[in-house]
């Protein structure tokens, strides 16, 4: 483990009380639930999956929504959809904050609900900030659930009526109590699944850029922190770089797509395009 890995390992663990409670509540509600809609960030579907949820969901009907399609590499997202299909799971790639894009989910959800008599209850689950509440709003065609560009916005389970026969439940984002590898940690921090105050952005940017250089065999055009800071004027008096603020801005720029559409994981276990 490098010094950078050690630094990252200490900062990116986050499992607050509301998640513990939400996990317990989801478990209690699950007996009422027919369909589970799992919202996963298309840029990191492996790190963004939650094995604890897998266990709880069991054999229930399941629909996977790959959010942030607009920020992920399109070919990699296509490969993920095919990979889920090979494992008998339906995955739909969407731009969660675009109502028209989310309407693709409605068709699949309605088909799943039609498989059973009477009304259906669906719960929307996933990691913090993955886009769950945006998906709910897109399906309802109104701003019913609160959304914000930070992790941990939704704190409570909440029901919404989608149609006379389908009820939807929004839920707080749930991380695993201990995020597996340092690689998953920086990826989850970079895509916004962990609140900004829980990690050192300088470490996250360092890891991201080191990974990008290795993947592209040194040919990436994405700037490192130093070049980014200089280009955007994050300098202190005396010519020193203001690393912390530059790194925060770097993470924001990544999530605004300023470096292009970048997937961090591919289904074959390699690094995304
Ligand atoms: N670019 C882009 N932004 C998205 C997409 N989906 C959601 N967002 C944005 O991501 C942020 C988080 O979305 P939310 O819907 O609040 O996420 P959430 O999963 O409910 O978050 P928590 O309740 O905090 O767990 C918001 O600023 C959304 O506008 C997407 O597909 N693409
Ligand atoms: Mg939410």
Q: CA 216 to CA 220: how far, in whole Å?
A: 6
**Nearest Cα to 64, choosing from 97, 41, 30?**
41
**Residue 164 CA to ligand 1 centre (angstroms):** 26
Q: Is the CB of 154 under 6 A from ligand 1?
A: yes
Q: CA 62 to CA 33: how far, in whole Å?
A: 11
Q: CA 79 to CA 266: how far, in whole Å?
A: 8
CATH architecture of 15-170: 3-Layer(aba) Sandwich (3.40)
Tokens of 194: 């962990």
Per-residue model confidence (pLDDT) at position 215: 93
Per-residue model confidence (pLDDT) at position 271: 54
**Residue 99 CA to ligand 1 centre (angstroms):** 13
Run of H or E residues at 207: helix 201-215
Q: Is the CB of 50 under 6 A from ligand 1?
A: no
Q: Is the CB of 67 under 6 A from ligand 1?
A: yes
Probe ligand 1: pick from 40, 68, 102, 147, max atoms within 8 Å of CB?
147
Q: Which atom of ligand 1 has the smallest separation from the CA of 149?
A: 27
**Residue 233 CA to ligand 1 centre (angstroms):** 29
> Where on the phi/psi map is residue 51: left (φ > 0), alpha (ψ -120 to 50), or beta?
alpha
**Residue 219 CA to ligand 1 centre (angstroms):** 31
**Nearest Cα to 173, choosing from 189, 151, 192, 195?**
151
**Residue 66 CA to ligand 2 centre (angstroms):** 15
> Distance of CA 30 to CAs 35, 58, 61, 67, 92, Å?
9, 10, 12, 23, 23
Probe ligand 1: pick from 129, 135, 152, max atoms within 8 Å of CB?
129
Query: Residues of the chain whose pLDDT is less than 70?
Result: 1-3, 5-12, 270-273
Distance from CA of residue 215 to its chain's centroid?
22
Task: Give the ligand at the shortest distance from the Cα of 50.
Answer: 1
Task: Give the ligand at the shortest distance from the Cα of 173.
Answer: 1
DSSP alpha helices (H): ranges in 89-153? 99-114, 132-140
Distance from CA of residue 51 to its chain's centroid?
15
Q: Is the CB of 256 under 6 A from ligand 1?
A: no
Give every CB contact of residue 120 below 8 A, 6+ residues apart in sequence: 34, 35, 112, 113, 165, 166, 167
HSE at residue 165, side-chain half, CA atoms within 13 A, is 13
Per-residue model confidence (pLDDT) at position 239: 85
**Domain ranges for the chain:** 15-170
Q: Is the CB of 101 under 6 A from ligand 1?
A: no
**Residue 145 CA to ligand 2 centre (angstroms):** 7
**Residue 147 CA to ligand 1 centre (angstroms):** 6
Q: Which atom of ligand 1 has the smallest separation from the CA of 151?
A: 24
Per-residue model confidence (pLDDT) at position 5: 66
- Contact 137/144 with Cβ under 8 angstroms? yes
């Amino acid at each position: 483990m490098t010094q950078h890995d050690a630094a990252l390992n200490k900062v990116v663990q986050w499992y607050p009380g509301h998640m513990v409670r939400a996990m317990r509540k989801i478990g209690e509600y699950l007996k009422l639930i027919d369909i589970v809609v799992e919202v996963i960030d298309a840029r990191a579907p492996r790190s963004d999956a939650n094995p604890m949820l897998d266990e709880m969901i069991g054999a229930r009907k399941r629909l996977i929504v790959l959010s942030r399609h607009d920020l992920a590499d399109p070919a990699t997202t296509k490969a993920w959809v095919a990979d889920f299909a090979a494992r008998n799971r339906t995955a739909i790639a969407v731009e969660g904050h675009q109502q028209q894009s989310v309407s693709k989910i409605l068709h699949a959800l309605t088909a799943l609900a039609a498989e059973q008599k009477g009304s259906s209850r669906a719960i929307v689950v996933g990691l913090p900030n993955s886009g769950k509440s945006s998906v709910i709003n897109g399906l309802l065609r109104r701003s019913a659930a609160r959304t914000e560009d930070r992790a941990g916005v939704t704190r409570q389970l909440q029901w919404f009526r989608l149609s006379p026969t389908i009820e939807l439940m929004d839920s707080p984002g749930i991380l695993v109590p201990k995020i597996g590898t340092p690689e998953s940690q920086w990826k989850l921090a970079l895509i916004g699944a962990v609140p900004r105050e829980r990690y050192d952005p300088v470490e996250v940017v360092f890891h991201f850029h080191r990974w990008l250089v290795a993947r592209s065999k040194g040919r990436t055009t994405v700037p490192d922190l130093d070049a980014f800071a200089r280009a955007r004027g994050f300098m202190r008096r005396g010519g020193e770089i203001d690393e912390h603020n530059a790194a925060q801005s770097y993470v924001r720029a990544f999530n605004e797509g300023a470096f292009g559409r970048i997937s961090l994981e591919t289904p074959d276990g390699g690094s995304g395009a």
